[in-house]
Structures are given as C-alpha cells and as structure tokens.
Amino acid sequence: MPFHVMIIPTLGCPSNCSYCWSSAEGSPIMSIEIIKETVEWLKKFRNDPVTFTFHGGEPLLAGPDFYREALPLLSEGLRHMKLAFAIQTNLWKLTPELAQILAEYDIPIGSSLDGPQELNDLQRGTGYYEKTMHGYEIAREHGLNVRFICTFTSYSVRFKEDIFRFFLENGLTLKLHPALPSLRDKNPKKWALDPEEYGGLLIYLLDKYLENLHEIEIMNINDLCRCLFSGRGTICTFVDCMGDTFAVGPDGSIYPCYRFVGMPEYVMGNVYSHPSRENLADSDAWKVMHQFKEYVNQQCGGCTHIRYCRGGCPYNAIVHNNGELKGVDPYCAAYKKIFDEIVERFNRELFGSSYIEIAASPSEHMKYAKPGIMSLMQKLASN
C-alpha cells in the first residue's frame, strides 16, 4: 500500500499570490536534523513504497545545501522502501546548481501558471510570469520534467478560452485547481471559484479536450475518467487519504496533509518522537480525519459516485466548516456534474441513440457525433 509524505521545508514564499492560503511570512527553514529524524521515524513506521513531495510555501527557499544533504539521506536511509520524489515550486529560486541536484534524482516538478502573462500577473503579482519562465528554462536545460497547475479563480474563469488556448499553443500539460477560500483573507471568498462554476468549467474543458485530444493533456479530465472507469479514486481528492498521507512541517510537526501545515490544532505528532501509527491515531486531527470517512459513508451513501469520489477532499470539508463535520467537500456539486456528464456521454456512445431519439432530437444526436469518451479512454489505455 503506497503512501505519501509531503515535506514542507518552509511556509515562506517570495511571491504574494492574491488567493494564496498556504504561505506564512517569517516561517523558519527546516533544518537537516528534521530530515534525519524523518528517516528514523519512517524506518519503524512502515515499509511500503513512499513518495516524498517537497512542497511549501516555496520549498526551494531551503537552498541547494539542504537538497544536497536531504535527498541522499532519504534515499539511502530508506533504501529498503521503494522511493519516489516530486517537488511543487514556483521555480523562481531554481538555479543551475539546484536543477543539477534535482536532475540527479530525476525529480518531476509541478509549478504554477494561471495562463497568459497579463492574467497570470494580475492574480499572482507583477513579474511572477517572467521569474517562473526563467526557472522553467533552467529546468528544461537540465532535462527536468515540468508541469504547470493553473488556478482558476472567480475572476479568471471568465477568460477560460484564453487560458485553454495559452496551454494548447505553448504545448503545456494543463492541470487545474479551483481557488479555495483563503483563510488568511478578510474577504475569504473574493477569489474562490463557485462549485457550480467549477463544474461548468470542467465540462467546458472536457469538450475542448475532446476537440484537441492529441494536442494537449488535461490531467483533471484524465483523472476523472480513470476514477470512473476503474471504480476507485486515483488521485488524493477522491480516495480516503487519511492514514496514507502525511506532511512534515518546518519544525518536524506531522500533519494529515500539507494543507494543514501551520495549523496547531491539526498536529498529530512530531518526527523527533518517532510516533507509531497508534500514537498518531491518538491525536484529535487523526480522529477528525477518520470521522470524515464515516461521515462520507452516511452523507454520500445514496450517491452513485461514492466509490470513486469518497466525499472529495477532507481539508476542504473540515477546515472551511471551522473544524466541524457539517458537510462533505463544498465542490461536491462540481464533482457530481462532471461525473454525471462523463457517464451520460459514455452510455450514449456505448449504446448509441435509438432511431426514435435521433429523429426526435437530431441536434442532440449531433452534439455527441464527435470524438468522445471512448476515444479518450483509448488514449489513456495506450499511454
């Protein structure tokens, strides 16, 4: 059973994106001792394959010396486990030296761009685009694989056509995130993407993807189809992540996920005390995450998508209800909408429209007479 450990070397970040909820000014940088203790903790914790993702804040603020020591400590100290690495960074601090270190471990990079320069910089700050693209060039020169996450906000969703065209014309894989309400903001919902709008956006992107199936990858649509057709979640949002995902904060505190880092009430333990699974299970954070699982079984019991949706992201559900279990992931409406749409299109393609249906509604038939879900499934299978 693979598991995931996110390492958060700092919550600091040189950027100041308008809708950010996960960085903190003055956050310390993780010491290499924490990595050594993480290795000692995990040696006894479990022996399954593990992916380490360096996340932030901005993880490259930790600098080359940190990675030059941390990567061999983890890979050699835990060589009995199957290890993989990844990093999520805005690339501003990527130097040839750092790129060389990441390349030695073949580390895939996730970065962020919200679309064309003007739109991106309006949301993420003047100069963001150029700094990220500069880092992107360095990454490419070192053979690193970079994918960009595009955050759609209540503002940028109005420019979805421009954003899609930007990713298509630049040959970039598109992965999107809806902007979450920022807990740091006086007006937390200002940039947040409304669930209905998010659902509509996913359907728009499904259409655009099918029109351009061999020219672009849209990760979210791929993942949604994989979830549906395998009958189980294939990304963290759609599985019971609790107990298989952990985050280690800059001071060694252990949290259920990077999204909780810096929130003391969600600390489950610390790497210095090498906690067992049972020790972590005694924490309030572990308990509330597992209560969410039970809550989903009740609340989503009547939903046809429960097996591969699992109520969505517990962070979205819990934190935005001030720590109480009062609802599932607020993006439920979006998930339902896109899952229903894919199922409906697939059934139409599989079983075809009857003569009567076509005669009664020729325009409806035409709507589906284009590359469809089957073509996408073939593409995913051949990959």
Output the smallest distance, CB 328 to ligand SF4, in A. 4
Q: What distance in Å separates the CA atoms of residue 16 and residue 123, rounded to the nearest whole number?
A: 9
Output the smallest distance, CB 381 to ligand SF4, in A. 25
Q: What distance in Å separates the CA atoms of residue 44 and residue 242, rounded to the nearest whole number?
A: 19
Window contacting ligand SF4 (CB under 6 A); options: 39-47, 58-66, 267-275, 310-318: 310-318
Q: Which of 335, 342, 345, 376 binds ligand SF4 (CB under 6 A)?
A: 335
CB hemisphere CA count around 31 (13 angstroms) = 7
Task: Identify which of residues 116 and 256 has a Cβ nearer to ligand SF4 in the complex.
Answer: 256
Window contacting ligand SF4 (CB under 6 A); options: 106-114, 142-150, 326-334, 363-371: 326-334
β-bridge partners, 150? 176
DSSP 242: T
| Residue 336 sits in the site that holds ligand SF4 (CB under 6 A) | yes
Q: What distance in Å separates the CA atoms of residue 278 and residue 260, rounded to the nearest whole number?
A: 20
Pair of tokens at residue 256:
């259920």
Q: Which of 90, 311, 345, 346 binds ligand SF4 (CB under 6 A)?
A: 311
Q: Which of 32, 86, 103, 236 binds ligand SF4 (CB under 6 A)?
A: 236
| Residue 245 sits in the site that holds ligand SF4 (CB under 6 A) | yes
DSSP 111: E
Q: Find the distance separating the first CA and the last CA of the chain, reported in whole Å.
A: 23
Give all strands of the β-sheet with 269-270 in edge-to-edge order.
174-178, 146-152, 109-112, 83-88, 50-54, 3-7, 245-248, 253-255, 269-270
| Residue 332 sits in the site that holds ligand SF4 (CB under 6 A) | yes
Window contacting ligand SF4 (CB under 6 A); options: 25-33, 70-78, 269-277, 305-313: 305-313
Q: Which of 151, 315, 330, 342 binds ligand SF4 (CB under 6 A)?
A: 315
Binding site for ligand SF4 (CB under 6 A): 236-237, 241, 245, 257, 259, 300, 303, 305-306, 309, 311-315, 328-329, 332, 335-336
